[in-house]
Amino acid sequence: MDISEITLSLRTMRANIVQSIRALRVDELQGAAQEEDQLFLRAALGESQSKQDVLDRIAQQFDLPAESAKNLPALLAGITTVFYKAGKRKGFVIVLEQVPANQKFDKEDREQLLDVFRDASDYWAERKVPFRCFYSFS
């Protein structure tokens, strides 16, 4: 699959989604985001064990203020307010790689984290800005 196929997919896929990355590759999504002049953000979470580890890594890798790692509502504020203040965007492509699946970060924690990105997707949809978040579990 070449970049033009992925770019076409971004143009035709639903603009505001949170979904499993499935068969898409991170480097192809990054190239497609660049083609569409959208901000690409990637958080590699494979080393994370706990909820706090996940929040810290996302805030750090997305270059959000430290307070964005305080809790899930603070992360949502970072993804919306901080991104909004950064200027008008043509869209966002976010990849959360290897979201932990362990006792310290269980199914409920994973769903709460994804809910933050779903809420961010709704926020950007209201502003007619595409926001696509793709995730994988470790």
Q: What tens digit of pLDDT does each residue of 81-93 get?
A: 877 666 677 899 9
Separation between Cα atoms, residue 76 and residue 82, nearest integer Å: 10
pLDDT over 50 at 8, yes or no: no
Q: Specify whether domain 3-137 bears CATH 3.40.50.12500.
A: no
Q: Where are the alpha helices (H) located in 13-135, listed in sequence order? A: 26-35, 51-61, 72-77, 83-85, 107-126
> Which one of 1-10, 26-35, 86-95 scores highest in mean pLDDT?
26-35
Separation between Cα atoms, residue 138 and residue 104, nearest integer Å: 13
As a whole number, mean pLDDT of residues 27-46 equals 92
Radius of gyration of the chain (CA): 14
C-alpha 74 chain-centroid distance: 15
Percent of the chain with pLDDT over 90: 72
Residue 45 vs residue 35, higher pLDDT: 45
Q: Closest by alpha carbon to 10, among 124, 135, 130, 125?
A: 130
Q: Is the pTM of this model over 0.85?
A: yes
Q: How confident is the model at residue 11 (pLDDT cuts 50, 70, 90)?
A: confident
The secondary structure of residue 55, as a DSSP letter, is H
Asked if 27 and 132 touch (Cβ cutoff 8 Å), the reply is no
